[in-house]
Copies of this chain bind each other. A is one copy, B any other.
Amino acid sequence: MNIYDIANRANVSIATVSRVINNSPKVSEKTRKKVLDIVDELGFTPNVFARGLGLNTMKTIGILCSDPSDIYVARALSYFEKMLRENGYDSLLCCSGYDTKNLKKYINILISKSVDAVIMIGSKYISSRDNKSLIRNTAKSLPILLINGFLNGENIYCSYYDDFNASKKCVNMLYDTGKRNLLFLYNSTSQSAKRKLDGFIKGCKESANLGNNFAALLCEENNIESILISLKQFTKENFIPDGIIAGDDFLAMIALKFAKQNSISVPENLAIIGYDNSIFSKVSYPELTTVDSKLFELCSHSVKTLLEVFDGQLPKKITILEPAVIERDTFKSKT
């Protein structure tokens, strides 16, 4: 069934049918109704390929992410799909895994599907010089949205939260409750992780004046066992922290596990602060104190920006949100 069948049945031309389908104002109410009735009766849906061929758009957004089974990515995905659909856009999922080398391959896939824009979740992709110029280049043909990452360039829109400040703030809060041996636990070298690390170091060096009693532990192998081993080894070889800031709630959970396994009382002898205010932080016992990274706000702001771009407006290219510390059980600023 196609537009011709409808036209025949309604005794109008295909042009008229097309106009009705696309809500063109220059159709009389009478013909509009006549056509619409037949469309409903036959359950006609216009062929997207034919339409796409003419308009060269499929109302589809490509979403590029590492892995949707990551709890942070999953949440972003959930928000995006919902908000995009509400605005008439489909989501084409493209998962690159954790290796950022083959960004080009995945961008090509999305381009070849003629998506209307690309949303990149996570700051991993902006790592290398090559990737940066690749992204800038891609942005020449379609808008690119960076979630939690920053890259300046034409047609590139970034939004992230100020994790540098968040980390610094956490250090100060820990210091204020008497913690003097701080550890930053992280498992990624993404832009965002670096900002957190920098904020941590800055806080330790300047505000808190901790001397050498702070360190950062990078867990290269991202599985629970290895991370626990790393922690054990670190505390043996260096110092035993009384405060841990973890790059995300998953790591914070492992820090908590470490504490329990070694009968360290939390938060009395070890305070733990996670990142992301994820389900982990609420399901655990004691519950995690965590930095709310404002993911929902980030996503909804990005969709708003995207719609403005499609609408021909020129929205702000960079948006930075202020995170907030959610105090629960693993650290309390007032004791």
**A contact residues vs B (CB 8 Å cutoff):** 45-50, 52-53, 56, 58, 60, 63, 67-71, 74-75, 77-78, 81-82, 85, 90-95, 97, 108-109, 111-114, 224, 250, 253-254, 256-257, 260-261, 279-280, 282-285
Contact = CB atoms under 8 A, between A and B. Distances in A.
Contacts of A48: 52, 112-114
A58 B68 contact: no
A95 B78 contact: yes
Contacts of A77: 68-69, 74, 77, 93
A256 to B, nearest CB: 7
A112 B45 contact: yes
Copies in the complex: 2
A283 B81 contact: no
A112 B109 CA distance: 22
The winner among A67, A69, A91, A260 for most chain B CB atoms within 10 A is A69
Q: Which 4 A-B pairs have the closest CB atoms?
A: A49-B52, A69-B78, A74-B74, A49-B53
A91 B62 CA distance: 10
Nearest to A81: B95
B47 A53 contact: yes
A46 B71 CA distance: 36
